[in-house]
Chains A and B, each alone.
Chain A
Amino acid sequence: MSGTLCIDGIAVPFSDGQTIIEAARSAGVYIPYLCHRPGYAPYGSCKLCTVKVNGRTNTACTLPAADGQTVISNSPDLQHDRQRITQMLFVEGNHFCPSCEKSGNCQLQAVAYHQNMLDNHYPHFYAQRELDASHPDILIDHDRCIFCNLCVRASKEKDGKEVFGIAGRGIHKRLIVNSPSGKLKDSDISVDDEAAHVCPTGAILVKRSAYLAPIGERIYDHHPISEVACEKAVLDTQAAKGHASCDQAQLAGQVPQNSGSDSHYAASMPPAPDIKHGR
C-alpha cells in the first residue's frame, strides 16, 4: 500500500511497509527519536516520537503509515512531553556533556538541544553504575545508557550474535552482557561489530577514539539533529521547492514551525565538511 499522509500540514507520501517516522524522514520531516534507527526493526521504547494520529496517541516509529492519516507532531503539548522525557533520561543516568567524549556527536545531547532543554527539571538520581573497561577495544559506560535496545538489536540482527540484553524492570533495568563473567572481555563482541558503534549516547564506545574529531567537525556542530537526521538531498530539494502542503488550512494556524538552529557553534565556526548521519 502506498499513498499520502499529512504531518503538521505537510503532505508526506509513503511506500508500502513504511512506518510514519520512516515516511516522515524520507520527506525531510523530522520527528525526534532515540531508540529508532533507520534500517532497524521498530522497538518503540523511548516514546520520544509520540504523535497524535487521527486524534489518538501513537509512537511514530511503530505505527505503519496509512493513506489519509492526519498526524500532529509539533504541537506544544507533544513538544512539552518530549522535553520531559528527555529530562527524565538525563536525571536517571549520569550524563556530563562537558567532559563526555561523545559530546557534539551524541544523539541524546542533540535531541536535548532540539527540545530546548535548558535544565534537568527533575532531581538527579545519582545512579551508582559501574564502568566495564575490561574489553581491550570497547568500553561500556553504564552511566550513559538509556536502554534504547539498539545495541541489543544490532548484535542480534546485524552481527548475528547476542552480546547484549536488557535485564530487570523499572528502576532496576540494566544493560547486561552475555558472557560467563558478565564482562565484555569474555563476550564474543568484536570492535568491527555494528553493536560497538550503534549507541546513540556515549554508553558503548570504541576505546582510544575520543576527541579525534575536532570541534567544528562533529556531527551536530553546524547542523541541528532535525537536519542531520534527514537525507541531505531531500532537504536540498525541499529548500528549493518547499514542502508540499496537504491543504489543511485548519492546521496551519495552530502548528508551530519545525524551528532549527539548536547548534551552539553554528554562528561562529567556519563551515563544516559535508557531514552525514551515522557513525
Chain B
Amino acid sequence: MYEYLETADPALVAAGKLKRVAVDPVSRVEGHGKVTLLLDEDNKVQQARLHIVEFRGFEKFIQGRPYWELPVMVQRLCGICPVSHHLAAAKAIDQLVGVDPANLPPAADKLRRLLHFGQVLQSHALHFFHLSSPDLLFGFESEIGKRSIVSVLADYPDIGLQGVKLRKYGQEVIRMVSGKRIHGTGAIPGGMNKALSQAERDYLKQDIAQIVVWAQAALQLVTKVHTSHLPYYDNFATIRSKYLSLTKPNGALELYHGGIRVKDEQGETLVDHYDYCDYPALIREEVRSWTYMKFPYLTALGKADGWYRVGPLARVNNCDFIDTPLAEAARVEFKLHGGEAMVHSTLAFHWTRMIELLHCAESIEILLDDPDLLSSDLVTKGEKRHEGIGVIEAPRGTLFHHYQIDENDIVTKANLIVSTTSNNTAMNESVRQVAAEYLSGRELTEPLLNNLEVAIRAYDPCLSCATHAVGKMPLQLELVDAEGKLVDKLIRHSNGEFIHGSE
C-alpha cells in the first residue's frame, strides 16, 4: 500500500531537491540497522527505507565444517535467541543421522521443548520489558532520556523487576538443560546430551508458579496499554498482510515442531499442514540493492503479493487454539478485539508476544511434572542422509535451517531463512506507513523520529541473525579521480553478472 515510498522519483534525486534524514542506528533492537528518509522542500516523505547494514555470513563459513558442529556454531549468530538456532540446526542434523522428529526419543523431544519454552520466555520478556516498555509506558514521543529500562525501573519498579526476573527464569531453564545461559550445548545428532537431574528439575519447579502469575500480569499490562489507546494502537504502523507460522496437526499454537500454515488478509487458509522439508517450493528470496537483508515471498503469489509476516502475531492469528488454558482465554479475548478474522495491528505484536509468554510459562509448569525429563533414553540413530532441514518457531517467527553434506560428513551447502528476514517487507511497509501517515509534512524532531523505531521494534527484529548471503549482493565499485570525476566503474549484479566500463 505504501510501496511507492520505497524509491523516490530519480528525477527529484538527480536534481538534488531532496534532503536526507537518517535514524542510525535504530536503537533497542538486536543488531544494527538504520532508517533513511528522503524529504522534499515541504517535508513530504518521498522515500523511506529500513536498511540492514551489517553482514554476518554464517551460510558461507559453515561450509567445509563437519555437520555435528552446526548446532553449536550457528547459535553464535545471536545472543538473544541462540537456542532457536541451536534447535533448528539440531532438527536438521537429526535428519542427517536418519532421525525424523517422530522418532526422536520422547525424553529428548521434551527436553528440547522445555529448552525452547525457556528461550521464548526469556526473549519475549527481554523484548517487552527491556526494549519496548519504555515506549509503551512513557509514550512514543517522550523525551529521549526517559526511553530506557532504567527509567522503567525508576518509575515502575514492580513492572521493571518482574520483567528482569521473568527473563532470568527463562535463562535458568536454558542453563539447566544446556549447561549455560547463553551458547550451551544440549542437542546432539539424534537427541540430547543430558537429562535433567532431580535437583535441577526441583530448582526450576520452585519458582514456576510465581512466573505464571507474573506472566499474567505482563499480559494484563499490555492489554490495558493497547485497549486504552484506541484507535491509535490499532492503526499505528498497521498493514494488512498474510501470515505464516507452524501449527500442530490439530491446529494448536506450536513453537517447536509442526506443519506450515499460511493465512491471507481475510483469514482464509492458503496453505495448511505443509511439510517444511518442501519449503524451497513454497518460498523464494529476493535480493535488493540497498540492504543486506533478503526479501522472502510465497512463490505461488509472486514478489509483489507474496510477502507475509511471521512471529507472535502470525502464530496467534493463524492457530485454531492454544493448548494451555490461561493463554487460550487470552487468545479468545484478543481475537474478539479485532472484529475480523485476523488482527492486523502491528502493535498487537506486543499483545500476542505476552500471550505467548504466558503460554510458555504454563507449558514449562506442565513439562516440569513429566518424568521423561529425567530419563536416560536420550539418543537414537538411523541411516545417514545427505540433506537435512530443520524448521522451528523462534521468538521472532518461523526459522529455516537447511544443510547438505558430502560423504565425509562435511557441510557443502547451507541456507538460513531467519525470522526477521521474513518480516523484511513488512517492516519496510510499516516504516513507510509511519512515514506517510505520521511524519510527512511535519518538521522532524528526535521524538517524532522515534515513531519509526517504535514501528520496527514491534517486530522485535534480530538484524544480526538475518544477513548471511555471500556473493549475491549487488556491488558497485567506482574509481574517482582527484577532481571527483568518475574514471572507471565495475558493477556486479545479484545474478553474478559483471558489467565493466566508465560512463
Bound CA span A133–B178, Å: 28
- Closest B residue to A211 using CB positions: B185
Are A133 and B408 in contact, with the CB atoms below 8 A?
yes
Are B178 and A99 in contact, with the CB atoms below 8 A?
no
* A–B pairs, 25, beta carbons within 8 Å: A99-B69, A99-B73, A101-B69, A101-B72, A131-B65, A131-B410, A133-B409, A139-B66, A139-B409, A207-B68, A211-B71, A211-B185, A211-B193, A214-B179, A214-B185, A214-B193, A214-B194, A215-B178, A215-B179, A215-B180, A215-B185, A216-B194, A217-B194, A270-B199, A270-B200
Q: What is the minimal beta-carbon distance from B56 to any residue of chain A, in angstroms?
A: 14
Bound CA span A131–B175, Å: 32
Binary interface encoding of chain A residues 56-76 relative to chain B, with 1 for a CB under 8 A from any of its CBs, else 0: 000000000000000000000
Within A22-65, which residues are at the interface with B (CB < 8 Å)? none
B residues in contact with A255, CB < 8 Å: none
Instruction: Answer whether A133 and B410 are a contact pair too, CB < 8 Å, given A99-B72, A101-B68, A215-B179.
Output: yes
Are A133 and B66 in contact, with the CB atoms below 8 A?
yes
- Closest A residue to B194 using CB positions: A214
- Number of contact residues on B: which range applies? 20 to 34
Q: Does B183 contact A (CB under 8 A)?
A: yes
Q: Does B184 contact A (CB under 8 A)?
A: yes
B residues in contact with A215, CB < 8 Å: 178-180, 184-185
Number of interface residues of A (CB under 8 A): 21
Are B408 and A98 in contact, with the CB atoms below 8 A?
no
Binary interface encoding of chain A residues 212-246 relative to chain B, with 1 for a CB under 8 A from any of its CBs, else 0: 11111100000000000000000000000000000
Q: Does B197 contact A (CB under 8 A)?
A: yes
B residues in contact with A213, CB < 8 Å: 193
A residues in contact with B183, CB < 8 Å: 98
- Closest B residue to A133 using CB positions: B408
- Closest A residue to B184 using CB positions: A215
Contacts A207-B66, A211-B188, A216-B179 known; list 13 others, CB within 8 Å: A98-B76, A101-B68, A101-B69, A101-B72, A133-B410, A207-B68, A208-B189, A210-B66, A212-B188, A212-B193, A214-B179, A214-B193, A265-B180
Bound CA span A139–B65, Å: 11
Which 8 pairs across A and B sit closest by C-beta, in order of nearness?
A215-B179, A99-B73, A214-B194, A133-B408, A210-B68, A211-B185, A214-B193, A133-B410
Q: Does B118 contact A (CB under 8 A)?
A: no
Q: Does B382 contact A (CB under 8 A)?
A: no
Q: Does A134 contact B (CB under 8 A)?
A: yes
Residues of A within 8 A of B (CB): 98-99, 101, 131, 133-134, 139, 207-208, 210-217, 265, 268-270
Q: What is the minimal beta-carbon distance from A137 to any residue of chain B, in angstroms?
A: 10
Q: Does B186 contact A (CB under 8 A)?
A: yes
Are A210 and B408 in contact, with the CB atoms below 8 A?
no
Q: Does B157 contact A (CB under 8 A)?
A: no
Q: What is the minimal beta-carbon distance from B175 to any residue of chain A, in angstroms?
A: 8
Q: Does B139 contact A (CB under 8 A)?
A: no
Q: Does B325 contact A (CB under 8 A)?
A: no
Binary interface encoding of chain B residues 82-98 relative to chain A, with 1 for a CB under 8 A from any of its CBs, else 0: 00000000000000000
Bound CA span A217–B179, Å: 10
Bound CA span A258–B102, Å: 53
Q: Does B64 contact A (CB under 8 A)?
A: yes
Are B68 and A211 in contact, with the CB atoms below 8 A?
yes
- Closest A residue to B68 using CB positions: A210
B residues in contact with A270, CB < 8 Å: 197, 199-200
Candidates A99, A208, A212; contact of B76 at CB < 8 Å: A99
Q: Which of B65, B180, B408 has the most CB of A within 10 A?
A: B408
Instruction: Answer whether A134 and B408 are a contact pair too, CB < 8 Å, given A101-B69, A214-B179.
Output: yes
Bound CA span A154–B492, Å: 52
Bound CA span A221–B408, Å: 31
Bound CA span A47–B197, Å: 43
Within B168-201, which residues are at the interface with A (CB < 8 Å)? 175, 178-180, 183-186, 188-189, 193-194, 197, 199-200
Bound CA span A275–B164, Å: 36
- Closest B residue to A207 using CB positions: B409
- Closest A residue to B179 using CB positions: A215
Are A210 and B188 in contact, with the CB atoms below 8 A?
yes
A residues in contact with B194, CB < 8 Å: 214, 216-217
B residues in contact with A216, CB < 8 Å: 179, 194
Q: Which of A101, A265, A269 has the most CB of B within 10 A?
A: A101
Bound CA span A101–B183, Å: 13
B residues in contact with A268, CB < 8 Å: 175
Bound CA span A101–B73, Å: 10
Bound CA span A269–B200, Å: 11
- Closest B residue to A269 using CB positions: B179
Q: Which of B175, B185, B189 has the most CB of A within 10 A?
A: B185
